[in-house]
Amino acid sequence: MGEGVAAEGGRHIETSAGPRIEQRVARRVGQHAGRGLDSAVGEDVEQMAEEATARLAAQMEQDGALNVPAVPGSRPVMVVASFGTSYPDSRRAAIGGVEAALAAAFPTWEVRRAFTARKVIAAIERREGRRVPTVGEALSACAEQGVREVCVVSTHLIPGREYADVRTAVEAARGLFERVCMTGPLLDSDDDVDCVVDACVRAMMALDDGASAFCLMGHGTYVEADRLYDRVAAALCCEGRRNCFLGTVEGRITLRDAADAIWRAGYRRAVLRPLMLVAGDHAHNDMADASDPESLAGLLAARGIEPVCVVEGLGQLPAVRARYVGHAHAALAGA
């Protein structure tokens, strides 16, 4: 997944694994001598970067923080604010993947997790016996420990209600720290939209049979920010891509709209992928549950179109992780 952009997402992660990666690359150089060296070594480095990300993500899932100092509060803190999910595997791979990329890119910053969905927080506490803090709780804990500098990285895609809640919590805590900054949402600019869409299309191309439609499923919202999905739809269709479509669960561009458009275009097979940070309830139920006639897979199947579902979040794509890292750099530079 993410061919051609994994190196961008793994650049910082490679260094976090220390000399082990350099030694393994050196061994592989000898093994591949004389036969596609650059390509083989490049693939190995990408794989090792993903392995390093997975290790850090597993550590975050266990501890709730990365780059933890010996003395609490002695480092600046990066609070990664996500909606959250009660699906442990997706949480580790997608949210943990983004947190791991940030921890590797900012080794002198402690990276902590916070969720905005109180129902998700309650579900995790009930099922797993541990509590993920809200953004307000995470910031209060930082202040109590004497942290002086905080950067809040929002993983939300658009400036909708959840993102506004994060902004409100940050503004309420601003007087508690010497320096506070916050990133914009993932799809904060046209360049962001183009990058994320391109990463998704590249990933779906791995499942193309040469005659498939590609369809992204976004969340959508009832507020003005839903218009950003128009920009996503436009980006999907650029560069001569005529087989790309978009539908949303709660927005103006509906799942039925997407299914109808794919059917009218004459496709009989469609690769589906969630345009969401994690593959949680919406991805499993609203996209991939073909037994539900109102799901995207069900709507397509009813029209004689074979759905091929990729139940994987945006946070699992190296290029998207790199985008979050870029947003953090920009927020710190502008603070």
Q: Name the residue among 233, 281, 240, 239 with its Cα closest to residue 257.
A: 233
The residues carrying an active-site annotation are: 219
Task: State the Cα–Cα distance between residues 112 and 99, nearest whole angstrom.
Answer: 8
Which residues are 248's β-sheet partners? Answer: 218, 254
**What does DSSP assign to residue 254?**
B
Neighbours of 6 (CB within 10 A): 23
Helix (H/G/I), strand (E/B), else coil: 322: helix
Task: State the Cα–Cα distance between residues 281 and 270, nearest whole angstrom.
Answer: 21
Sign of CA dihedral 280, 281, 282, 283: positive
Whether the CB-CB separation of 64 and 91 falls below 8 Å is answered with: no
Whether the CB-CB separation of 50 and 10 falls below 8 Å is answered with: yes
The first and second tokens of residue 50, run together, are: 């993903």
By DSSP bridging, strand 65-66 and strand 110-115 are antiparallel
The first and second tokens of residue 100, run together, are: 């791991």
Neighbours of 59 (CB within 10 A): 18
Cβ-count burial of 119 within 10 angstroms (0-12 exposed, 13-18 middle, 19+ buried)?
A: exposed
- Using the structure block, give the residue that is written with the tokens 């009813």: 302
